[in-house]
Chains A and B, each alone.
Chain A
Amino acid sequence: MNDPDDVALYEDLAPALIRFATGLVGPSDAEDVFSTAVVHAMTSPGWRSSTRKRSFLYTAVLNEARMFHRSRSRRRARETRAHVAVSIVQPEVHPEVPAALDRLSPRQRAVVVLTYWDDLTPAGVAARIGISEGAVRRHLARARRTLRRLLDEH
């Protein structure tokens, strides 16, 4: 975690990466997701030998965001099932994300952010997060369909 190259790469990429995390989980949880993903990535066995570290980090953030969403879904399901007499304070369950983006899957959100903020082509998005170009186009099409419906409602 203290390799000078890692520090330089981190300082170069951190602002964009935490914005990417914000697009995936909202500003309240972005820092936790971002920090966890970076630490995981830079201490993983494949990090040293990786020749595509930028993509490695973006994929790590996306995977961490997916884990975050799964965990949040499970927590919400539990809370729905459990009608306890005394509710427990859950300070982490209300991420401040716009409703429209929150309706997308983490991968759809990733594709939307990289397309509309970073102006990447489908091929560029595919290379950045390690999925096929066809998958990028499918995620983007579904995301646009969902967003069109939600935006037209308002």
Chain B
Amino acid sequence: MNTDLDDRIRVLVAQELNRSPAPPTFADLGDYHLVPTGPGEHRPSRRAVLVAFAVAGAVVATAGVVALTSDGSETPVTITPADTTAAPYRLDIVSLPTLLLDAAVYEAPAGPIEIHYVSQGGTHTLAITGPGLEPIELGTASISTAPDGTPTVGDAVIAHLVLEPGTYAIYCTIPGHRDAGERATLIVR
């Protein structure tokens, strides 16, 4: 045994592990539902494709899908014809006024997915990055205001995607929100 080498490795490991974040509480692992995918179910190509985007009903005017570019500008995401061979899986994601999402982990089957994104308070966005997917951002999910001025739950921003299996990061792009906890993992199987 090379004691000197062992000591140096021990220091290296300790330095790294001392930077470990605190674990989330058990409750913060979030509720999520597991949707099994059988061998006969639809499997998309490895390339995830943004197939369509629509905004439901009377959506807030600022809603939209944009691609994030290096200079910070926003360019429209190319829309291709929707895959109609399989019914999309609906995934609801909620931004909370406390700068959190309503779950730490979301799960969905691979293939067409319909993300319904709403805010329960405050202005938020939802960026999605992951395997084979050009980073996209669902536009602001602002809350609506009732005629008497009372804030209400925002209208859903709906995105239709086809996702390959993998782990995706989702988070709010508004400065500070992600670090405050408005982020989660989307597991696609």
Residues 112-145 of chain B, each 1 if its beta carbon lies under 8 Å from chain A, else 0: 0000000000000000011110110000000000
Chain A residues whose C-beta falls within 8 Å of the C-beta of B22 in the assembled complex: 15, 18
Residues 1-34 of chain B, each 1 if its beta carbon lies under 8 Å from chain A, else 0: 0100110111011111101111110100111101
> Is the pair B16, A97 in contact by a Cβ cutoff of 8 Å?
yes
Given the known interface contacts A36-B105, A71-B167, A148-B2, the answer about A22 and B19 at a Cβ–Cβ threshold of 8 Å is yes
* Interface bracket on A: 35 or more
Chain A residues whose C-beta falls within 8 Å of the C-beta of B21 in the assembled complex: 18, 22, 27, 30-31
Chain B residues whose C-beta falls within 8 Å of the C-beta of A11 in the assembled complex: 26
Determine the residue in chain A with the shortest Cβ distance to B21: A31
Interface membership of B110, Cβ < 8 A = no
> Is the pair B10, A10 in contact by a Cβ cutoff of 8 Å?
no
Chain A residues whose C-beta falls within 8 Å of the C-beta of B19 in the assembled complex: 22, 27, 96
Number of interface residues of B (CB under 8 A): 42
Determine the residue in chain B with the shortest Cβ distance to A75: B131
User: Would you list which residues of chain B between 165 and 189 have a CB under 8 Å from chain A?
Assistant: 166-167, 169, 185, 187
Determine the residue in chain B with the shortest Cβ distance to A86: B69
> Is the pair B16, A26 in contact by a Cβ cutoff of 8 Å?
yes
**Residue from A67, A148, A151 within 8 A of B167 (CB atoms):** A67
Chain B residues whose C-beta falls within 8 Å of the C-beta of A34 in the assembled complex: 23
Given the known interface contacts A67-B167, A88-B68, the answer about A74 and B16 at a Cβ–Cβ threshold of 8 Å is no
Q: How far is the CB of B180 from chain A (nearest CB, A)?
A: 14
Determine the residue in chain A with the shortest Cβ distance to B71: A86
Chain A residues whose C-beta falls within 8 Å of the C-beta of B60 in the assembled complex: none
Interface membership of B104, Cβ < 8 A = yes
Chain A residues whose C-beta falls within 8 Å of the C-beta of B8 in the assembled complex: 147, 151
Q: How far is the CA of A89 from the CA of B185 in the complex (A)?
A: 18
**Residue from A1, A97, A147 within 8 A of B31 (CB atoms):** A1
Known: A18-B22, A71-B131. 10 other contacts (CB 8 A): A15-B22, A32-B167, A35-B105, A35-B185, A39-B30, A116-B13, A144-B5, A144-B9, A147-B12, A151-B5
Residues of B near any A CB (own CB < 8 A) = 2, 5-6, 8-10, 12-17, 19-24, 26, 29-32, 34, 67-70, 75, 104-105, 129-132, 134-135, 166-167, 169, 185, 187
Q: List 17 A-B contacts (CB under 8 A).
A: A1-B31, A10-B26, A14-B24, A22-B21, A31-B24, A34-B23, A36-B167, A39-B30, A40-B187, A87-B69, A90-B135, A112-B13, A144-B5, A147-B8, A147-B9, A151-B8, A151-B12
